Amino acid sequence: MFGRLGPTEIILILVVILLLFGAKRLPDMARSLGKSARILKSEAKAMKSDGADKPESQDAPSEPQQTAPRTIQAAPGDVTGARPVTEPDRTQR
């Protein structure tokens, strides 16, 4: 009974969603969802590359590196949504 959704039920669900959120808000919601997915994907990629760049053994402490602060951008080329990222100090444990 509840296991399968036919085309009639899917159309009914889409109509209810359209009535609840309105035609104007749905594209904005989809756009913000896409931006969030891009940010999540880029951050996951950055975390993987950060893990690959670190040496396996850290017996001797190295000199702290002076690097520019990283920023997260809301979308490619969107400078209004950029914000600085504060990273924890890894030298103190």
Say how many domains are in the chain: 1
Q: Tell whether 3 is covered by a domain.
A: yes
pLDDT for the residue 11: 92
Q: Tell whether 57 is covered by a domain.
A: no
pLDDT for the residue 53: 67
Has residue 1 got a pLDDT over 70?
A: no
Dihedral sign for Cα atoms in the order 77, 81, 26, 40: positive
What range defines the domain where residue 13 resides?
1-50
8-61: per-residue pLDDT in tens?
A: 999 999 888 888 888 788 888 889 999 999 999 999 999 888 877 665 555 555
Q: Tell whether 24 is covered by a domain.
A: yes
Q: Tell whether 71 is covered by a domain.
A: no
Q: Tell whether 89 is covered by a domain.
A: no
For 61, the token pair is 């402490």
For 20, the token pair is 């609840």
More confident residue, 81 or 14: 14
pLDDT for the residue 29: 85
More confident residue, 12 or 84: 12
Listed in sequence order, the DSSP H helices in the chain are 7-21, 25-53
Closest by CA to 83, choosing from 53, 29, 39, is 39
Q: Tell whether 44 is covered by a domain.
A: yes
